[in-house]
Structures are given as structure tokens and as C-alpha cells.
Amino acid sequence: MDMKIDEKKLLNEAKEARENAYAPFSGFTVGAALLTKSGKIYRGCNIESSVMSPSLCAERVALAKAISEGEKDFVAIAIAGAPEGEASKEPCYPCGVCRQALSEHVALSSFQIITEENGKPSTCTLSDLLPKAFIFEK
Ligand code: THU
């Protein structure tokens, strides 16, 4: 049976994570909250670099924290992003790199991406955002 996801709670976790974002170069701060099957939440925020390429998106920070702690089963990620100091009301979808990174660790058709739209949680699946994904056959 599918686990009931508290979308509002997960979005609030993403908003709290956003408060720690380090984004002095773009001025766009993002928070993410990744939910595991067992109910644990791993948070991430974007961390930019003055030399740009080491910059990290919030989603991949959350993913790296979870994977490095041995987590393997993920059900959803909530994302909140907006210009620094502004409330995150419009949907902030994961960038292409994060979609690919997530795709290697989740079930594409059931993993939920939760964003905020008009003040309410809005949900789609990773396969909605990454159709015809590259799958590496070992
Ligand atoms: N960013 C994220 O952290 N996640 C996204 O889903 C989109 C973009 C970050 C990268 C960069 O630090 C800033 O937002 C502007 O692109």
C-alpha cells in the first residue's frame, strides 16, 4: 500500500532548509526535503561557490546526505525556492542535473516531486519531469 505523504509538512521542511541556503551569487535560495520510505527526512539547501562549478543544488545536497547515511528507499522530495528574502510561492522544479541524479535512486513513476503553487502543495512524478530517462544497463 502507498504511504500517505504529508505534503504540507514536507514543504515546510523544505522552507526551513531554505533558510540555510548560501546563494550570494544568484540571490536565489532553495531548500529541499527528501522523504525516505521509513519516514525519515533529509534536508538540503543550495550552496554556491565563487568559482561557480562547485555550486550545489538543494536537491542533490539532500540526496547526498541521505545516500551517504545508507538510505536506499525514497518516496518524495519537496522543494521551495525563490529570490532571497521572498516567500516561495511559485513552483520551483528540480533542474535537469538534479532530475538525472534523483532518477538513479528512485522509482521514476512513483517518486513524488512536491512544489508549492498558489499557496498549496502541487505534486507530480519524476517520470512527468524526466520522460524517456537514460537508464544505464550494467
Ligand atoms: N537551484 C537549486 O538549488 N535547485 C533547483 O531546483 C534549481 C536551482 C539553485 C542553483 C543555484 O544556486 C540557484 O538555485 C540559481 O540557479
Q: Which domains does the chain have, with CATH numbers?
A: 7-129 (3.40.140.10)
Buried b (16+ CB within 10 A) or exposed e, 55-70: ebbbbbbbbeebbeee
The dihedrals phi and psi of 67, each to the nearest 5 degrees, come to -60, -40
Band the pLDDT of 94: cuts 50, 70, 90.
very high
Find the 48 Cα to ligand 1 centroid distance in Å.
9
Report the pLDDT averaged over residues 75-95. Answer: 95
* Higher pLDDT among residues 40 and 137, named by residue: 40
Query: What pTM does this model have?
Result: 0.96
Testing ligand 1's pocket by substitution, the residue of 25, 43, 65, 95 carrying the most ligand atoms inside 8 A of its CB is 95
In terms of DSSP H, where are the helices of 6-138?
7-18, 58-68, 96-103, 126-129
pLDDT at 2: 63
For ligand 1, say whether the CB of 28 is within 6 Å of any of its atoms.
Answer: yes
DSSP notation for 1-18: -PPPP-HHHHHHHHHHHH
